[in-house]
Structure 1
């Protein structure tokens, strides 16, 4: 193979690569102006390389005219550089002005091309290595100078972008500079004959790599799928180089080993046959891989589209039950069988209660170990290898989604807590102002009602007490909680509260050992039981067979000195509506009690939280309404007294 033929093949490959890259960019770019300009650069480079092929085929005049259009290449690249840099967080006035005058750059480039054609700025010479090669005449100096100047301006814009941008944009620009240096090295040999340097342009044989590397440097952080393509391309390139080296070694040693027939085969033929075999292998690899996968794993249809669908839909989950619901639906659709996902969250097992699960014999157990989410397949022993592979891939993806959801819920909880604290500060200021403004007129109304008839005075006093209780509750809820802990006998405290409550017609019972004590603020804890008992009495009053039952027990904690006191307050009043159960019940101004402020349970929650405890509404088999309080029997070190906002 002569050097002329190698050069012609390299230019032809560069031209084909330019067209393919431009088509791909236009397909992916849509309305992205920077990638459209880069596609124009790729097309112009394809045309410029094709001009060399035309020149080699003996059409010198046409080839020279095509090559003299080279000023359009850096113009398109300048257009791309301006749009690429002047996007995202960077928006520069100077770049806006350059973008507005970019049509004038195109017109100037066309003018330079026309002048070059008119003044015969190019010619062709024959050398010992090539049939015909392009050179600039004296009139072509302006063409070459203008081309270099526009290229320098484009790289100056990129340098400005590298200074202004950060992150992936900055990395892309840095990669473009590296590729630009490679392209300059390749293109330098193009002008050697124009300066009388008789040296074959070996670097131009690698010109196809310049355009591919440039486009990859630009889009690798924008179009992630191109990275997978680049990974496969590098793999096949490495295999090609290994084969070339192997053929070279075989050509050298085959004669010495007595394989004279093999030694007589020209090396280029061996390389051509090997590359042909490699190309065939590349073409049939994916189809054969799919066929073999179906033989080994029958029934499985995993591909990138399925994985992308799974990933995108799992990311839409807003809660654990929603995540389980999506997971069961996706996997059941894929394997065409009912499936159950069991999720262990903080030691409690959750699953989606769907009609499919009653008959589901296949399950995936997802659990957390330390900070990692893991999974186990349950009941898959008789499943086909394809189904097991599908379940394992899905389980891995689902475990990752659990970690993402956990992080998302933690952030949402922290944000809610921050907003609640901010709301409390605002509410505290409002409550203090309201208490000051309302209590004086309330006192005046109370004194003015002294001489009214008894029935009217009683009605006024009742409403005044309700208003005063609302103001007091708002002050308690929104103000700071200063705890003064001491040893408190739980049974004695609750009996005191019950003795002061209006329990006419309500049968109450206690099941609390007299020796149960805990370190707490007795006044705050008394407020907790006053609110809970008053709330129960409000619903039990005038109800037949009204009952109130309070029980407590001590449970061993994780550490011997941190026992827990579990208190349950039961009553047989009307059950709480399902929409109000859970966290909603303890939010401020949520109530169904006539005349209530909606702050009673919210105050209870604040006091229990300040003590480091928990309060929940529980479903109990024997009682319609049950509130469960969990308090540490001893205060943690350093918490004898503190103020919470």
Structure 2
């Protein structure tokens, strides 16, 4: 093939590729301004290539105008770069302002084009295999310099976008840079004759790949279907190259094996016929594949629309029962028979079901699925069931995660509500003490009996307020060694024992690593709580034991705690004590938690009721 004809064909092929991808891009991205600009870039690439073809056929005036219009090409690309970069997290006000003034970029490009045409920015020469070839001259060098400057500006903007963006947009920008470097390498050979280097522009023969790679790099992460097209195109290219190699090898050795007629056929004819057959085979692949699938799997067929419909309906489920019902309805509708679905989240056991059934169960490695009772169904039904089971397994994982997130959000809101309620309780407790003080002062002049009754109730209210403040506040402890015997001796006069025997069995030198004030609160609450149950029964007894392993036990021989109370014994406002606030044991548990210790109830130590407290040693 003549070199000038090869150059012409490559220019036409580049123009055709540019027009095809630009038309497709403009149609698929009608609502995206940046993609429209990329389509405009492809159109100007086609115009530029048509300019070379026009020069080749002697249409010099038209050819010069089309070639000198090349400033519009990087202008469209710059317009695209502005819109593509100024999205998402990388959005900037100065880019918004630049986008609003993009019309001035096009006006500047048209001005450069007009000056180049009026001042005759180039002329036609003859060199090598070309009888007509365009070279820049005079003002044309300003034209090409402006074109290069706009291109550099566009790529500099993309580089800034690459630094500010992440994910797929960052990958797209990297792909654009790679395609831009490839295009610069190919197009640079076009300028060599203008510089007095009369070399044949071999790289220009690969120019059709530039616009295709550039557009593919831009949209491959935005429009997933183009990846399927690229997969088929790459397969066709590789198969073509392999076929060309095999034909060349066969043609060279055919004469040695007596196939002289084959050896005499021109290689280009063999290649042409082979490429036509390959193209025909690729075109028939999809319909033949569908025909084979219908023969192997007769009956119900799967397609993208059916899978999308399944996914859409499964995504509507908000809980496990609803997901099971939707799955059974979809399967029964598709298969034409009743098919059951079992969803088994963690800790659930499968039930025996007769007939075809899909079981999705949760394991340590994640969700798994299996088919039961599908031994007698047709291959098409089993295939559809396996595909549906795979989709259902994925949906189970997503639903489980969604329910976990919803539960975590519910707990967060509940905890936030408790925090707000605690703050409100503390504020109300502080405010209640003011009127109580006024009542106490007002009762000072009353007779003794009424005054005593009022003061008793005021003390009860003050105790309740103190408990609320303690429970709702932030408990902090300052731990040090506390002599336990002397602390118990100081507490003994604070209680009205009323013939209740109180004793403690511990070493008089024993100490606990605790906060003195908080330990006193713990003991007061436990002793007061025990007294309320043993004070009015004969032979009431309270005993405190302590050991060297930092364990303190408070026993009493009052009535045993009922089993139904044990599950929520330390929760607030749970009490069977007459006149109690229900906060005593809750406060004790909070204080023990602040110490890093624990409180437990025991009934196996020879006493009906025992509270065991563990105070860990301070290792700070």
**C-alpha distance in structure 1 between counterparts of 2:472 and 2:291, whole Å:** 68
Which residue in 1 is equivalent to 2:135? Answer: 135
Aligned-residue offset at 1:568: 10
Q: 1:448 to 1:291 in 2, by over 3 A?
A: farther
Match status 1:415 vs 2:415 = no
Match status 1:405 vs 2:399 = yes
Corresponding residue SS for 2:256 = coil
Which residue in 1 is equivalent to 2:544? Answer: none
Corresponding residue SS for 2:89 = coil
Unaligned runs of 5+ in 2: 447-455, 478-517, 519-529, 535-550, 555-559, 574-581, 594-601, 605-612
Q: Residues 419-469 of structure 1, C-alpha deviation per residue, up to 9 Å, x if partnerless?
A: 3333323322222332343477579889999x9xxxxxxxxx99xx99999
- Are 2:172 and 2:217, in contact at CA under 8 Å, matched by a contact in 1? yes
Aligned residue-pair number: 527
**C-alpha distance in structure 1 between counterparts of 2:54 and 2:236, whole Å:** 30
- Are 2:300 and 2:381, in contact at CA under 8 Å, matched by a contact in 1? yes
**C-alpha distance in structure 2 between counterparts of 1:324 and 1:211, whole Å:** 50
Which residue in 2 is equivalent to 1:63? Answer: 63
Q: Residues 595-634 of structure 1, C-alpha deviation per residue, up to 9 Å, x if partnerless?
A: xxxx99xx9xx99xx9xxxxxxxxxxxxxxxxxxxx9x9x
State the TM-score, normalizing by the size of structure 1.
0.69
Which residue in 2 is equivalent to 1:616? Answer: none
Q: Residues 389-418 of structure 1, C-alpha deviation per residue, up to 9 Å, x if partnerless?
A: 111111112112222222232233333333
**C-alpha distance in structure 2 between counterparts of 1:381 and 1:139, whole Å:** 81
Aligned-residue offset at 1:94: 4.0
**C-alpha distance in structure 2 between counterparts of 1:109 and 1:435, whole Å:** 77
Which deviates more, 211-220 or 96-105?
96-105
Q: Residues 537-570 of structure 1, C-alpha deviation per residue, up to 9 Å, x if partnerless?
A: xxxxxxxxxxxxx799xxxxxxxxxxxxxx999x
Which residue in 1 is equivalent to 2:77? Answer: 77
Aligned-residue offset at 1:6: 2.3
Corresponding residue SS for 1:420 = helix
Match status 1:34 vs 2:34 = yes
- Are 1:19 and 1:43, in contact at CA under 8 Å, matched by a contact in 2? yes
Corresponding residue SS for 2:90 = coil
**C-alpha distance in structure 2 between counterparts of 1:469 and 1:322, whole Å:** 48
Structure 1 moving runs of 4+ over 4 Å: 439-449, 465-482, 520-523, 639-642
**C-alpha distance in structure 1 between counterparts of 2:440 and 2:417, whole Å:** 32
Match status 1:226 vs 2:220 = no
**C-alpha distance in structure 1 between counterparts of 2:469 and 2:103, whole Å:** 68
Aligned-residue offset at 1:206: 1.2
Aligned-residue offset at 1:271: 1.2
- Are 2:48 and 2:69, in contact at CA under 8 Å, matched by a contact in 1? yes
**C-alpha distance in structure 1 between counterparts of 2:28 and 2:358, whole Å:** 39
- Are 1:4 and 1:129, in contact at CA under 8 Å, matched by a contact in 2? yes
Which residue in 1 is equivalent to 2:374? Answer: 380
State the TM-score, normalizing by the size of structure 2.
0.71
Aligned-residue offset at 1:101: 3.3
**C-alpha distance in structure 1 between counterparts of 2:564 and 2:349, whole Å:** 27
Which residue in 1 is equivalent to 2:174? Answer: 174
Corresponding residue SS for 1:346 = coil
**C-alpha distance in structure 2 between counterparts of 1:474 and 1:271, whole Å:** 92
Match status 1:107 vs 2:107 = yes
- Are 1:314 and 1:323, in contact at CA under 8 Å, matched by a contact in 2? yes
**C-alpha distance in structure 2 between counterparts of 1:337 and 1:479, whole Å:** 63
Aligned-residue offset at 1:12: 1.6
Q: Which has the larger radius of gyration?
A: 2
Aligned-residue offset at 1:137: 3.0
Q: Residues 472-506 of structure 1, C-alpha deviation per residue, up to 9 Å, x if partnerless?
A: 89986999899x9xxxxxxxxxxx9xx99xxxxxx
Which residue in 1 is equivalent to 2:356? Answer: 362
**C-alpha distance in structure 1 between counterparts of 2:464 and 2:381, whole Å:** 64
**C-alpha distance in structure 2 between counterparts of 1:333 and 1:382, whole Å:** 19
**C-alpha distance in structure 1 between counterparts of 2:475 and 2:345, whole Å:** 33
Corresponding residue SS for 2:257 = coil
Q: Residues 273-295 of structure 1, C-alpha deviation per residue, up to 9 Å, x if partnerless?
A: 11111111121111111111111
